[in-house]
Amino acid sequence: MEARYSKLRSLFDEKSEFFREVQRETEEQIEQKSRCVSKLTRKGFPVVFGNSSKPFVSDTFLDTVKNSVLTNLTRDFFKTKKEGYCPGCGEWCKRFERAHTIKERPDIAKEALDSVMAKHQEEGSFEMSEFLNGFIQLHRKYPITSICTACHLILDKKIRKEIPRGHLTYEELRKLDYKGARPIDILIEGVGFDGDKYTDVPKSISDLRCVIFQGVATEYLRTAFTSVKVSPTPKQRAISTWTRHEFTGWYDKEEYDNDGAVLYFFISGTSDNVSMKEVLKAIFEDRFKYRYPYRHTLFQFEITIKLKLASGEIVEITNKMQ
Ligand SMILES: [Zn+2]
């Protein structure tokens, strides 16, 4: 079982032997067929996207073509094995399926559309065949393999979820469900954060929030989060549990004169989703008009976190410039 998993996992590693083999096979199929599939060269089906009174919506276009045109085209180009040894599990199998590797069909289609539109920006239209050809040619970069049904299922339901999704925006991150999620990796860099690098992986989402709060100037820790209090009132204590945490005072208003001093704040216990909202707010929400000290956001350092969601999916959160 482990051998099968690591073999399938290597389909996501462009340097692995299995990936290269799949890439060679895909290229061969493209070369053999490109000349004879007329859909890729035919003229007379222009798609107008600019200089028109009617708006062109990329997503609608992609939605329309993905289940009809692109499915058929993929089937025409990339044949599945009939019966034989599966390269995933190494066993004799009777049913094979086409499986995408590092990029799936909707993303490949989007890339093909973006590139054909960029190329014809001035004319505001392109030939449908040029888009289809671009879509097929991209499979040289994002190849397709033929594996057995069981391997395909493992690939899509398990292994693909281990691979972090591409860059997610603040808006997208806010929509995820963090219930039962846990941090699996962290890197915080920036002068002043206990030296240059911080890599101690927090045990829970609530611990992660506490680490994030350490990277917020004291002045804003006092005011920007409802779950942080210098001293919770009896009423607040009645509705929530508060845990005392040690902080180092910094960038505080002069009246406090706390720079470098040990300070205590209480943090209230909340659900994973509420805690993550505060984490994301601290990392991403624009707070300062002027870059002072050096970020617009409450959290003042460069951070990359990997979280494993309850679904098994891994999400990467970073404020590094992309
Ligand atoms: Zn298999």
How far apart are the C-alpha atoms of 25 and 87, rounded to whole Å? 13
H or E element: which one contains 198?
strand 197-198
Angle at 14 between CA 65 and CA 322, to 5 degrees: 75
CB 126 within 8 A of CB 116: yes
Phi, psi of 279 (to 5 degrees): -60, -50
Centre of ligand 1 to C-alpha 279, Å, is 41
Provide, for the chain, the percentages of residues in helix, strand and coil under a 3-state DSSP scheme, each rounded to the nearest 5: 40, 20, 40
Which pLDDT belongs to residue 255? 63
Which pLDDT belongs to residue 191? 57
Q: Of 187, 202, 205, give the one whose Cα is nearest residue 310.
A: 205
CA distances from 312 to 180, 224, 252 (A): 10, 32, 40
Query: Which neighbouring-strand residues pair with 127?
Result: 46
Centre of ligand 1 to C-alpha 103, Å, is 20
Q: Per residue of the chain (322 residues), what is the pLDDT tens digit?
A: 788 999 999 999 899 999 999 999 999 999 988 777 788 888 999 999 987 788 899 999 999 998 889 988 998 889 888 899 999 999 999 999 999 999 889 889 999 999 999 999 999 999 999 999 999 999 999 999 999 999 999 999 888 887 777 778 898 899 899 999 999 999 998 755 555 788 999 999 999 999 999 999 898 898 999 999 999 999 999 999 999 999 988 877 766 677 788 999 999 999 999 999 999 999 999 888 766 556 889 998 899 999 999 988 889 999 987 5
Centre of ligand 1 to C-alpha 102, Å, is 18
Centre of ligand 1 to C-alpha 11, Å, is 13
Instruction: Supply 134's token pair.
Output: 């671009």
Residue type, 202: P
Centre of ligand 1 to C-alpha 60, Å, is 35
How far apart are the C-alpha atoms of 38 and 253, rounded to whole Å? 71
Which pLDDT belongs to residue 249? 87
CB 56 within 8 A of CB 48: yes
How far apart are the C-alpha atoms of 70 and 118, rounded to whole Å? 21
Which pLDDT belongs to residue 216? 92
Which pLDDT belongs to residue 285? 92
Centre of ligand 1 to C-alpha 84, Å, is 10
How far apart are the C-alpha atoms of 315 and 165, rounded to whole Å? 6
Which pLDDT belongs to residue 195? 59
How far apart are the C-alpha atoms of 89 and 107, rounded to whole Å? 27
Query: Which neighbouring-strand residues pair with 304?
Result: 187, 318
Residue 136: exposed, middle, or buried by beta-carbon count in 10 A (0-12, 13-18, 19+)? buried
Residues lining ion ligand 1 (Cβ < 5 A) are 86, 88-89, 148, 151
